[in-house]
Amino acid sequence: MLPKCYGLRIFSQKCRLLNNFSSMAAIVTALSSTVLTQLHMTWAHVSRKSTLEALLRYNEPTGGFSGYRSLLQQVEGSCVPFITMYLTDIIHASQHSRDENDIIFFFQRARWHEVVTQMLKFQSRPYKIAPSETTTQFIEAHLREVLCDDNWFWQRSKELQQTEAAHADIRKGLEAAGF
């Protein structure tokens, strides 16, 4: 598990550097999930605080995604935005200003337009990266493998937790013996 966690952490940093905030958010969310955070011995080998915690602040919905919004201000060139922030903004606009008695609330429509315009502005700046057939095949093969079973991640996490617990017992025994 260690190389995969480490690799995902590095991949999330690369996504951040490429302004692929959607993939970065998905990876950071996955690495922060209960299934993975319970792997204490695995995380002991990964410098979680230095990288993952820094990336987590961009996904933080409190404060209106202020970390992510400030990050977007610095974006130049291509970008894959984190859609959750935009959807949250649309929901807030819908909840705070509702149409009543067949009267259209134009402020709400204007806010929706503003949010969608902000989101779509990144479509005019495509990436200049050639697709890699081997990478695509690798990802598709692994996704097919895990998507066949809804409980795969949970079961795998439980297996690793049991392995970690067994190794912790062995380590404690060796430490008690003076090794």
pLDDT for 80: 92
pLDDT for 177: 76
pLDDT for 107: 82
pLDDT for 3: 46
CA angle, residues 156, 160, 163, in degrees to nearest 5: 140
Cα dist from 165 to 37, 39, 48, 160, 168, whole Å: 15, 10, 20, 8, 5
Kindly report the three-state secondary structure assignment for every residue of the chain. CHHHHHHHHHHHHHHHHCCEHHHHHHHHHHHCCHHHHCCHHHHHCCCHHHHHHHHHHHHCCHHHHHHHHHHHHCCCCCCECCHHHHHHHHHHHHHHCCCECCECCHHHHHHHHHHHHHHHHHHHCCCCCCCCHHHHHHHHHHHHHHHCCCCHHHHHHHHHHHHHHHHHHHHHHHHHCCC
pLDDT for 134: 94
pLDDT for 166: 79
82 and 59 Cβ atoms separated by less than 8 Å: yes
For residues 102 and 127, what is the distance between their CA atoms, to the nearest angstrom? 44
Q: CB under 8 Å to 146, separation ≥6 — which residues?
A: 152, 153
Q: What is the mean pLDDT of each run of 10 residues along the chain (179 residues)?
A: 58 88 89 81 70 79 84 88 91 77 78 90 85 90 77 82 80 73
Token duo for residue 45: 């080998």
pLDDT for 1: 42
* pTM of the full structure: 0.67
The domains found in the chain, sorted by start residue, are 2-129 (1.10.840.10), 134-179 (no CATH)
